[in-house]
Structure 1
Amino acid sequence: MSAVLTPTEAPATVPAGRFGGLLRAEAHRFRARRFVQVLLGLAVLAWIAVTALGLVNYREATPERLAAAQEQLQESVEQSSIGREQCLTDPNLPTDVPADQLCGPVMTAEDMELSWFLDPAPYSLSGEGMTGAVSVAAAAAVLAFLIGATFVGAEWSSRSMVALLFWETRRPRVMGAKIAVVAVATLLVGVAAQLAWLATAGIWQAVAGDGVPVPDGFWPDMLATQARGALLTLLAGLLGFGLTNLVRNTGAALGVGFVYFAVVEGAISGFRPTWQPWLLTTNAAGLVMPDGLELTIYTDEFDTQGNTKVIEYLVTNLQGGIVMAVVTAVVVGAGVVLFSRRDAH
């Protein structure tokens, strides 16, 4: 007579192994993803091209070039003074209007910058370094969004996600490992992008710089901006991952992102301008920019004099970080919950 196992005696599911092994497997899958390799390769080529282009467009401010620029500046001041004197002595000049309003104020050398007369201009680390860090953060965020989206989207399209569940049946562990890998990878992308920008800015300053020392407090502000840029890259990567995990298709996720950024935000800015402080692009910029993002919002309301009411709003670094983190957490969390409950097919 054969024994029959009751439901309570059925063997339990054997765990696939420690979480560290799952992490290593997901990291290997991430590194092996061909499209991720292509994206990173293109990013490296873009960095090389931008660095080379800067070396072509910038030129060192040599003493000879500075002297020639100073002569042009002085000549411009003299020509301005001559033109103003001719305007003031014009017999047809109206007498009921102030002369400065018609002929302009007195122009001095202090009103002009020497760099205006340097063509090509030298690179200025103190003047352009921070702007470059913000721009690199935006480009790295787009790259991270694509990386996060294609990583999980490829698994849904190839159905390898279903096969993975035969090895590890605990879905929250599977998704947790994938999220951890994407978070670490995109954070590294953000850090690498900012280090690449420091290298580029250093090369430009050494080869074609203006020779002006950076002001006090420049480097702490620069490093803080770059750190926030790396954080934005991390959040963008997780957002791309979470959105694609929701719709289970990379193309659909990119389409949703395009519609939101190109259509929805434009419509909101036009029809609901007071909502601008809560848009994703607004808060992303507010997170990275050194002093936050200042908004000038023209409302549909009018004051007692019939003028349009204008609202000045500052999107601080803290607000930008909180809004981006909350939106990312909601999208990723919703994807994890649905992944745990619905069929994987």
Structure 2
Amino acid sequence: MSAVRTEAPPTAPAGRFGGLLRAEAHRFVARRFIQVVLLLAALGWVTATVIGLTQFASATPERLAAAQQELQAEVERSNAYREQCLASDDVPADVSPEEWCGTPVTAADLDLDWYLDPAPFSLADGGTAGAVAFGAAGAVLAFLIGATFVGAEWSSRSIVALLFWETRRPRVLGAKIAVVAVASAVLGVVAQAAWLATAGLWQAVAGDGAALPDGFWSELLATGGRGVLLTTLVGLLGFGLTNLVRNTGAALGVGFVYFAVLETAVRAVRPAWQPWLLTDNAAALVMPDGLTVYTGFDPATGVSTEYLLGNLQAAVFLSVVTAVVLTVGTVLFTRRDLH
């Protein structure tokens, strides 16, 4: 009796990574919840833009003249009160009249916008602040979208069925991460473009007409670029955290406990740890000059201690945290049993 050698059937060639990417992109776009969230965000943007138009008014010559009259009247009243103070006998003997009653008030000490109600929109003053605000809003939206994208697949167990088509788990998760990264970056760009459109409309309809300072556009674009980076990192962080806990609700719960409870406790009990908090680093990343945090109080000198979180330091810290969360999630995904 002779032994018969049987060869294993040939394995089907794996599909290209580009096909997997297209499938994940289609799955992302087809998610009904993501569509609803983006629609609500667009409606919120339109509503905020319209409401802003009711809060600002252009500085017409008539309004400027009336505001100038009110400002001059305020200068005269302030100086009249000062003269009364100087003429009174209530000035302490050990304090000079100038220190007690103050210096004369001039028109340069007051802002004309204080007497314009409603005030005109100032692109020079509010342009960068708006880019920071829209960057933060885009980051929150990206976290929710990234979390629900993978969380829905864990809840429906469709991710298990996907592994029958592509058995190499790192490729599957890598494709999902790539889609979330690109989608979050696009969302960040759209958010900054939306702010530029809003600010441009406000400036055209109800702006102050003031000339923009030197370096304004470079600073605004740099702030917007950092806002896009923050949106991308936060979207990946939401995806990675949800992949770890396998549930969107649980991931949002963990985020709430961290931001509302843990960070509040750290600020109250261990203020020196604030440079390691995610929200402080997120703010430091987007703000033009970084973020100065108060880390304690020196009883010997009576001076509060400060720490400056720069843009680069915050970017590196958030990138490392995001990479660690994604790496741990990938390792567990490749090793855990899926049912």
Q: TM over 0.5: same fold?
A: yes
Q: Decide which of 77, 80, 86 is 2:78's aligned counterpart.
A: 80
Give me the whole-angstrom Cα distance separating, in 1, the residues matched to 2:152 and 2:97.
70
Give me the whole-angstrom Cα distance separating, in 1, the residues matched to 2:98 and 2:155.
70
Instruction: Spell out, residue by residue over 1:15-73, the C-alpha distance to the aligned partner (whole angstroms, 9 max, x if none).
Output: 44111110010000000101100110011001100100110000001111111111110
Gaps of 5+ in 1: none
Matching of residue 95 in structure 1 with residue 93 in structure 2:
yes
Q: Decide which of 52, 55, 60 is 1:54's aligned counterpart.
A: 52
Q: 1:162 to 1:66 in 2, by over 3 A?
A: same
Q: Decide which of 278, 282, 285 is 1:284's aligned counterpart.
A: 282
Q: Decide which of 41, 44, 50 is 2:42's aligned counterpart.
A: 44
In 2, are the aligned partners of 1:59 and 1:208 still within 8 Å (CA)?
A: yes
What residue in structure 2 maps to residue 238 of structure 1?
Answer: 236
Q: 1:221 to 1:4 in 2, by over 3 A?
A: farther
In 1, are the aligned partners of 2:296 and 2:306 still within 8 Å (CA)?
A: no
**TM-score of the aligned structures, taking structure 2 as reference length:** 0.97
Instruction: Spell out, residue by residue over 1:233-268, the C-alpha distance to the aligned partner (whole angstroms, 9 max, x if none).
Output: 000000000000000000000000010011111111
Instruction: Spell out, residue by residue over 1:2-24, the C-alpha distance to the aligned partner (whole angstroms, 9 max, x if none).
Output: x9776xx4335434411111001
Within 5 Å, give how 1:3-22 maps onto structure 2: 9-11=7-9, 13-22=11-20
What residue in structure 2 maps to residue 302 of structure 1?
Answer: 299
Q: 1:159 to 1:106 in 2, by over 3 A?
A: same
Q: Decide which of 244, 247, 250 is 2:248's aligned counterpart.
A: 250
Quote the RMSD (CA, aligned, Å): 1.6
Instruction: Spell out, residue by residue over 1:258-281, the C-alpha distance to the aligned partner (whole angstroms, 9 max, x if none).
Output: 100111111111111111111111
What residue in structure 1 maps to residue 26 of structure 2?
Answer: 28
Matching of residue 328 in structure 1 with residue 325 in structure 2:
no
Give me the whole-angstrom Cα distance separating, in 1, the residues matched to 2:117 and 2:4.
90
In 1, are the aligned partners of 2:166 and 2:172 still within 8 Å (CA)?
A: yes
Give me the whole-angstrom Cα distance separating, in 2, the residues matched to 1:319 and 1:140.
21
In 2, are the aligned partners of 1:15 and 1:168 still within 8 Å (CA)?
A: no
Matching of residue 264 in structure 1 with residue 258 in structure 2:
no
Give me the whole-angstrom Cα distance separating, in 1, the residues matched to 2:239 and 2:295.
33
Give me the whole-angstrom Cα distance separating, in 2, the residues matched to 1:156 and 1:101.
70
Q: How many residues align?
A: 339
How far residue 319 of structure 1 moved from its aligned partner, in angstroms, is 0.4
What residue in structure 2 maps to residue 106 of structure 1?
Answer: 104
SS of the counterpart of 2:120? coil
Within 5 Å, give how 1:118-137 maps onto structure 2: 118-137=116-135
Give me the whole-angstrom Cα distance separating, in 2, the residues matched to 1:266 and 1:310.
19
Instruction: Spell out, residue by residue over 1:305-326, the C-alpha distance to the aligned partner (whole angstroms, 9 max, x if none).
Output: 5x3x522211111001000000
What residue in structure 2 maps to residue 189 of structure 1?
Answer: 187
Give me the whole-angstrom Cα distance separating, in 2, the residues matched to 1:257 and 1:4.
61
Give me the whole-angstrom Cα distance separating, in 1, the residues matched to 2:156 and 2:273.
40
In 2, are the aligned partners of 1:145 and 1:237 still within 8 Å (CA)?
A: yes
Gaps of 5+ in 2: none
In 1, are the aligned partners of 2:285 and 2:314 still within 8 Å (CA)?
A: yes
In 2, are the aligned partners of 1:60 and 1:208 still within 8 Å (CA)?
A: yes
SS of the counterpart of 1:173? helix
Q: 1:69 to 1:240 in 2, by over 3 A?
A: same
> Which amino acid letter does the alignment assign opposite residue 302 of structure 1?
P
> Which amino acid letter does the alignment assign opposite residue 103 of structure 1?
C
Matching of residue 317 in structure 1 with residue 311 in structure 2:
yes
What residue in structure 2 maps to residue 341 of structure 1?
Answer: 335
SS of the counterpart of 2:292? strand
> Identity over aligned residues, as a percent?
67
